[in-house]
C-alpha cells in the first residue's frame, strides 16, 4: 500500500479535506503516517490553504497504531512526531471523528485543534488491553482536555466513551447530528474568521489544576482502578504517565510517556496480549474454507431447553437485539427458566450495570413456549436439553421435521458426539456444535464444533452469529470434551491426585491463582457443584475418590454451604475446612498412599503441563487448526491469564524441551501414563521448535 493510496486529499474552498482510507480500520501503519505527513506538510507549505478537516472513511476514524508493527523497527515518521508537527502547524485542523477513534487514532485527534464527532462515534485509549499505554501523547493531552480523574479512568481501564459523553467532558467541541464533514468545515471557517492562533491541547493547563493542588489525588483515583488489574505493569505505567502530565512540563511528560511505552512494548505481558489479539481473530478462519462462502441471514433464534445454559444463551441473543423463542418440555420447567432469566437481569440492574427499561426491552425479546411449532420460526435453532444422546437425537428428529429449510441447527452438548446427533436429521450439513460456556450470557468463548458433514456456510453462519452476540468463536473438531474441557479434564485429574498425595485444596488453588487464574480448580468445583460430576461418574462407573467422598458426605459445593471448602451463610468466600482435611487424609490412607509435602512448583507444573500435553495431542489429531486457537479457548473460556498468552504460547516461552523433561519425570515418578509426552511435543522439543512453528491445518473430519 503506498501513502497516496491510503490518504485522499481534496481541496475545498481554500482548505483541505484529508481522508484516511486504509481499510479495514485505518490503522496508522507507515503508509498512512507518511501520507498524513505529506498532507500536513502541504498545508504548512501552501500559503493559500487556510486549514484542514481530517477524517476517516468507513466505520473508523482510526483504530490506532498498527499493532503488527510493534516489536519491529518502525519507520519515520513515528506517530508522536506526526502529531507534534500537526499541533504546531499554525493553521487550524479539525478532526471530524466519523466512527471509532481508538489508541493512536484518538491521539491523532487530540493533536488536532478542534474536534467534532458523529453521534455514533466512539473514543477510547485501549492500549492497556494490549499491555501498553498510549504512546503518542495520549497520557499528556487527554488529562489536559478532560481532567485527571476521567482521563485516568479511560486510560487505565481502556474503556471507550460515546460521542455524547465526549462532548460533556470536553473531549470534543461538538457532536454533528447531520452532515459531519459540512459541520467540520463550518467549524474550520469560524476558527479562520476569528483569526486566532489554533489552540494547542498541550497549552491547556486549567484542568490539571486540581491534581496539581492536591498531591494525593492521583493515587486516590488510581487505587480502585488498579485494584482490578492484578498488579500488571501496564496499568501502573498508565498512572505514572498521567502523573507526569501533572508534575512535569509538557515536553518532559511526553518523554516520560515514551520511556514507559518502550519498556512495556518489550514486556512479556504485552507480547502475550498482542499474541492473543491476533489469535482471537484467526481462530475463526478455516484454511480450507472457499473464499466465496457467505453466512446465512439470521434474524430469529430458537433455543430448546430453558435450563442453566438455554437461559443464558437466550439472554445472549436478547442482549444483542435478536428475538428468541425458548421451548421447554412443560410449563413448570419453562416458567422456572424464564423466572431465572428475569432474576439474572434484575441482579444486573440492582448492581447498576443495566437500566431497568433496557432490561424490559431485553426481556420482551424472549418468548417462552411449550409449542414446538415455533421451531419453524428460527433461522438458528440451538438445543440445550439434558446431556443424553437418545434424548438429543429425538429432539433433532423433531427439529428436522419442523425447522425451516436452511436453518442452522446447533447442539450445545459438552461431551456427546455431534456426528451422532447430526445423523438423526436428514440434513447433517446444517448441523454443528455451538458450545457455550457457563454462564452463557457472560462467558465470551464459543467453541464451534465442525462435524464431518457440516457445510462451510453453516460454519460461517455460526461464526457470524457468535460475533454478533459478542462471543469469541473458535472452530474445533469432534472429540470427547472438544478442546477446552478435554484439556481441563487432565488438570482435574492431577488436582485430585495431588490431594491424595499430600496437598490440600487451598494449596492447589493458591498455586493456580498465583499463576494468574481468577480461581483455583477446587473453588471452581464448589461454584459449579460437585454433584454433577458425581452423577456422571456413577453412571459411567468411574471414580474420583475425594470428590466422591465429599459428595457422599452431602458436600455438593456452594449450594450446600460446603464442598472442598466451607462457606458462611450468604457468602461465596471459600474457607479451608479441617473436616475436608480429615476426609482427604482418610481417603489417602484407605487407598494406601503415603502422603508427602508437595512444593508449590510441583503443583503449578502438574496443573499446567499435562494440559499443554493434551493440547499437543489435540493438534496431532487435528481437532484444533492452530496452537493459538487453543490459547484463545483457554483465555476466553477458562480464565487463563491473558498476559501469559494461553497454554501453548506459554509452553513456547518456557521451552518445549523443559516441558517434555518435566512430563517424563512425572510420568515415571508418579507412574502415570497419561503424563507421557505427546509425540508432537517430543518432536518439536527435539527440533528446538515451539508450537508457533506449526502451520495452520484443516480440522480432521
Ligand atoms: N493494528 C493492526 N491491525 C488491526 C488493528 C490495529 N490497531 N485493529 C484491527 N486490526 C485488524 C484486525 O487484526 C483484523 O484483521 P483481519 O481481518 O486480518 O483478522 C481487522 O483489522 C478487523 O478487525 P476486527 O476483526 O477486530 O474488526 P471489528 O470491527 O470487530 O473491531 C476494533 C474493530 C474495535 C477496532 C478492534 O479491531 C480493535 O479493538 N482493534 C484494536 C484497537 C487498539 O487496541 N488500538 C490501540 C492500538 S495501540 C496504539 O495505538 C499505540 C499508540 O498509543 C502509540
Ligand atoms: P439443565 O438441566 O439446567 O437444563 C436442561 C433443560 O432442558 C431443562 O430446563 C429441561 O426441562 C429441558 N429439557 C429436558 N428435556 C427436554 C425436552 N425433551 N424438551 C424440551 N426441553 C427439555 O442443563 P444445562 O446445564 O443447561 O445443560 C444443557 C446442555 O448444555 C447439556 O447438553 C450440557 O451438557 C450442556 N452444557 C452445560 C454446561 C454447564 O456448565 N451447565 C456448559 C456447556 C454445555
| pLDDT higher than threshold 90 for residue 334 | yes
Residue nearest to atom 42 of ligand 1 (CA): 63
617 touches 250 (CB < 8 A)? no
234-286 pLDDT, tens per residue? 999 999 999 999 999 999 999 999 999 999 999 999 999 999 999 999 999 99
Least confident window among 261-265, 537-541, 675-679: 537-541
334 touches 305 (CB < 8 A)? no
**DSSP characters for 151-168?**
HHHHHHH---EEHHHHHH
| pLDDT higher than threshold 90 for residue 575 | yes
Give the rounded percent of residues in the chain with a pLDDT score beyond 90.
Answer: 96
What topology is assigned to 301-482 in CATH? Rossmann fold (3.40.50)
HSE (side-chain half, CA atoms, 13 Å) at 280: 21
Which one of the ligands is nearest to 386 CA? 2
- Whether ligand 1 lies within 6 angstroms of the CB of 284 is answered as no
* Given the residues 107, 257, 501, 602, the one annotated as active site: 107
What CATH number has the domain spanning 600-693? 1.10.1040.50
Cα(335) to ligand 2 centroid in Å equals: 15
Listed in order, the ranges of the chain carrying CATH 3.40.50.720 are 301-482
420-457 pLDDT, tens per residue? 999 999 999 999 999 999 999 999 999 999 999 999 99
Listed in order, the ranges of the chain carrying CATH 1.10.1040.50 are 503-590, 600-693
659-669 pLDDT, tens per residue? 999 999 999 99
| Strands ordered across the beta sheet of 324-327 | 366-369, 324-327, 301-304, 380-383, 408-411, 431-436, 445-450, 472-477
Least confident window among 63-72, 295-304, 642-651, 683-692: 63-72
Cα(509) to ligand 1 centroid in Å equals: 35
* Given the residues 41, 46, 87, 127, the one annotated as active site: 127
Residue 497 dihedral angles phi and psi, to the nearest 5°: -60, -40
Residue nearest to atom 1 of ligand 1 (CA): 66
- Whether ligand 1 lies within 6 angstroms of the CB of 29 is answered as no
Measured from the Cα of 436, ligand 2's closest atom is: 43
Single out the residue of 592, 576, 595 nearest to residue 509, CA to CA.
576
pTM: 0.95
Cα(309) to ligand 2 centroid in Å equals: 6
* Mean pLDDT across the chain: 96
Least confident window among 222-236, 480-494, 586-600: 222-236
291-322 pLDDT, tens per residue? 999 999 999 999 999 999 999 999 999 999 99
7-45 pLDDT, tens per residue? 999 999 999 999 999 999 999 999 999 999 999 999 999
Contacts of 651 (CB under 8 A, 6+ apart): 612, 615, 659, 690, 691
Q: What is the pLDDT of residue 540?
A: 86
Single out the residue of 695, 670, 680, 646 nearest to residue 279, CA to CA.
646
Q: What is the pLDDT of residue 659?
A: 98
Q: What is the pLDDT of residue 1?
A: 63
40 touches 89 (CB < 8 A)? yes
User: Does the domain made of 503-590 have the CATH classification 1.10.1040.50?
Assistant: yes
Cα(412) to ligand 2 centroid in Å equals: 9
Residue 265 to residue 163: CA distance in whole angstroms: 30
Least confident window among 45-59, 83-97, 285-299, 529-543: 529-543
Catalytic residue list contains 107: yes
Measured from the Cα of 104, ligand 1's closest atom is: 50
Strands annotated E in 427-495: 431-436, 445-450, 472-477
DSSP symbol at 430: G
154-165 pLDDT, tens per residue? 999 999 999 999
Mutate to test the pocket of ligand 2, among 327, 336, 337, 384 (most ligand atoms within 8 A of CB): 384
| pLDDT higher than threshold 80 for residue 4 | no
Cα(25) to ligand 1 centroid in Å equals: 7
Query: Could you give the 3-state DSSP secondary structure of residue 476?
Result: strand
Residue nearest to atom 25 of ligand 2 (CA): 308
Cα(533) to ligand 2 centroid in Å equals: 15
Q: What is the pLDDT of residue 71?
A: 83
Which one of the ligands is nearest to 394 CA? 2
Residue nearest to atom 9 of ligand 1 (CA): 25
225 touches 153 (CB < 8 A)? yes
- Whether ligand 1 lies within 6 angstroms of the CB of 66 is answered as yes
Measured from the Cα of 310, ligand 2's closest atom is: 26
Which one of the ligands is nearest to 99 CA? 1
Q: What is the pLDDT of residue 424?
A: 98
The whole-number average pLDDT for the span 400-413 is: 97
Give the rounded percent of residues in the chain with a pLDDT score beyond 70.
Answer: 100
Mutate to test the pocket of ligand 2, among 307, 312, 328 (most ligand atoms within 8 A of CB): 307
- Whether ligand 1 lies within 6 angstroms of the CB of 530 is answered as no
| pLDDT higher than threshold 90 for residue 2 | no
> Cell numbers of 660, please?
517434555
At residue 109 the predicted structure's pLDDT band, cuts being 50, 70 and 90, is very high
Q: Which CATH number fits domain 3-265: 3.90.226.10, 3.30.300.30, 3.90.1640.10, 3.20.20.150?
A: 3.90.226.10
Listed in order, the ranges of the chain carrying CATH 3.90.226.10 are 3-265
Residue nearest to atom 4 of ligand 2 (CA): 307
Q: What is the pLDDT of residue 638?
A: 95
Q: What is the pLDDT of residue 508?
A: 98
Amino acid at each position: 500500500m503506498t501513502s497516496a493510496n491510503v490518504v485522499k486529499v481534496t481541496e475545498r474552498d481554500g482548505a483541505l479535506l484529508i481522508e484516511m482510507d486504509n481499510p479495514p480500520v485505518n490503522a496508522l501503519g507507515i503508509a498512512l503516517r507518511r501520507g498524513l505527513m505529506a498532507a500536513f506538510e502541504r498545508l504548512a507549505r501552501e500559503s493559500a490553504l487556510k486549514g484542514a478537516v481530517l477524517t476517516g472513511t468507513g466505520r473508523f476514524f482510526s483504530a490506532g497504531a498498527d499493532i503488527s508493527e510493534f516489536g519491529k523497527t518502525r519507520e519515520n515518521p513515528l506517530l508522536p512526531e506526526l502529531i507534534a508537527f500537526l499541533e504546531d502547524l499554525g493553521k487550524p485542523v479539525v478532526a471530524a471523528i466519523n466512527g471509532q477513534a481508538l489508541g493512536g487514532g484518538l491521539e491523532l485527534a487530540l493533536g488536532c485543534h478542534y474536534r467534532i464527532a458523529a453521534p455514533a462515534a466512539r473514543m477510547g485509549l485501549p492500549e492497556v488491553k494490549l499491555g501498553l499505554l498510549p504512546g503518542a501523547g495520549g497520557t499528556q493531552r487527554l488529562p489536559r482536555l478532560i481532567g485527571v480523574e476521567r482521563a485516568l479512568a479511560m486510560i487505565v481501564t481502556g474503556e471507550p466513551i460515546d460521542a455524547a459523553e465526549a462532548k460533556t467532558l470536553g473531549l470534543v467541541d461538538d457532536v454533528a447530528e447531520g452532515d459531519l464533514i459540512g459541520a467540520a468545515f463550518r467549524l474550520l471557517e469560524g476558527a479562520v474568521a476569528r483569526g486566532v492562533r489554533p489552540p494547542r491541547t498541550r497549552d491547556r493547563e486549567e484542568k490539571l489544576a486540581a491534581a496539581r493542588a492536591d498531591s494525593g489525588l492521583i493515587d486516590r483515583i488510581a487505587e480502585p482502578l488498579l485494584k482490578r488489574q492484578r498488579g500488571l505493569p501496564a496499568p501502573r505505567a498508565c498512572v505514572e504517565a498521567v502523573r507526569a502530565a501533572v508534575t512535569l512540563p509538557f515536553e518532559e511528560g511526553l518523554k516520560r510517556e515514551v520511556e514507559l511505552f518502550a519498556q512495556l512494548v518489550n514486556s512479556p505481558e504485552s507480547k502475550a496480549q498482542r499474541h492473543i489479539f491476533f489469535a482471537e481473530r484467526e481462530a475463526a478462519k478455516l484454511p480450507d474454507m472457499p473464499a466465496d462462502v457467505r453466512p446465512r441471514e439470521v434474524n430469529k433464534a430458537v433455543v430448546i431447553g430453558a435450563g442453566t445454559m438455554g437461559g443464558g444463551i437466550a439472554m445472549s441473543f436478547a442482549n444483542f437485539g435478536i428475538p428468541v423463542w425458548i421451548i421447554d418440555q412443560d410449563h413448570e420447567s419453562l416458567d422456572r427458566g424464564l423466572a431465572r432469566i428475569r432474576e439474572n437481569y434484575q441482579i444486573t440492574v440492582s448492581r447498576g450495570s443495566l437500566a431497568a427499561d433496557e432490561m424490559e426491552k431485553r426481556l420482551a425479546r424472549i418468548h417462552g413456549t411449550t409449542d414446538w411449532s415455533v421451531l419453524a420460526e428460527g433461522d438458528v435453532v440451538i438445543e440445550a436439553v439434558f446431556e443424553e444422546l437418545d434424548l438429543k437425537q429425538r429432539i433433532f428428529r423433531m427439529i428436522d421435521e419442523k425447522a425451516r429449510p436452511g436453518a442452522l441447527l446447533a447442539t450445545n452438548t459438552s461431551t456427546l458426539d455431534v456426528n451422532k446427533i447430526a445423523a438423526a436429521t436428514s440434513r447433517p450439513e446444517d448441523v454443528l456444535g455451538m458450545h457455550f460456556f457457563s454462564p452463557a450470557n457472560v462467558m465470551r468463548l464459543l467453541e464451534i464444533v465442525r462435524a464431518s458433514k457440516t457445510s462451510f456456510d453453516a460454519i460461517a453462519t455460526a461464526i457470524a452469529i457468535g460475533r454478533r452476540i459478542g462471543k469469541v468463536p473458535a472452530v474445533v473438531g469432534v472429540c470427547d470434551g472438544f478442546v477446552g474441557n478435554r484439556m481441563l479434564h487432565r488438570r482435574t485429574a492431577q488436582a485430585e491426585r495431588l490431594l491424595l498425595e499430600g496437598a490440600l485444596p487451598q494449596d492447589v488453588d493458591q498455586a493456580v491463582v498465583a499463576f494468574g487464574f481468577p480461581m483455583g480448580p477446587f473453588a471452581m468445583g464448589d461454584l459449579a457443584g460437585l454433584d454433577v460430576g458425581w452423577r456422571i461418574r456413577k453412571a459411567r462407573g468411574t471414580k474420583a475418590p475425594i470428590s466422591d467422598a465429599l459428595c457422599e458426605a452431602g458436600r455438593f459445593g456452594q449450594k450446600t454451604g460446603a464442598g472442598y471448602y466451607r462457606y458462611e451463610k450468604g457468602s461465596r468466600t471459600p474457607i479451608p475446612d479441617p473436616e475436608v482435611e480429615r476426609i482427604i487424609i482418610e481417603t489417602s490412607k484407605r487407598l494406601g498412599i503415603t502422603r508427602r509435602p508437595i512444593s508449590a512448583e510441583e503443583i503449578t507444573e502438574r496443573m499446567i503441563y499435562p494440559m499443554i500435553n493434551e493440547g499437543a495431542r489435540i493438534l496431532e489429531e487435528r481437532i484444533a487448526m492452530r496452537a493459538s486457537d487453543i490459547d484463545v479457548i483457554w483465555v476466553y473460556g477458562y480464565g487463563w491469564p491473558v498476559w501469559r498468552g494461553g497454554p501453548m504460547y506459554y509452553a513456547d516461552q518456557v521451552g518445549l524441551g523443559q516441558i517434555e523433561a518435566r512430563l517424563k519425570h512425572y510420568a515415571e515418578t508418579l507412574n502415570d501414563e497419561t503424563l507421557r509426552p505427546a509425540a508432537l511435543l517430543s518432536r518439536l522439543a527435539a527440533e528446538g521448535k515451539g508450537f508457533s512453528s506449526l502451520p495452520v491445518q484443516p480440522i480432521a473430519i
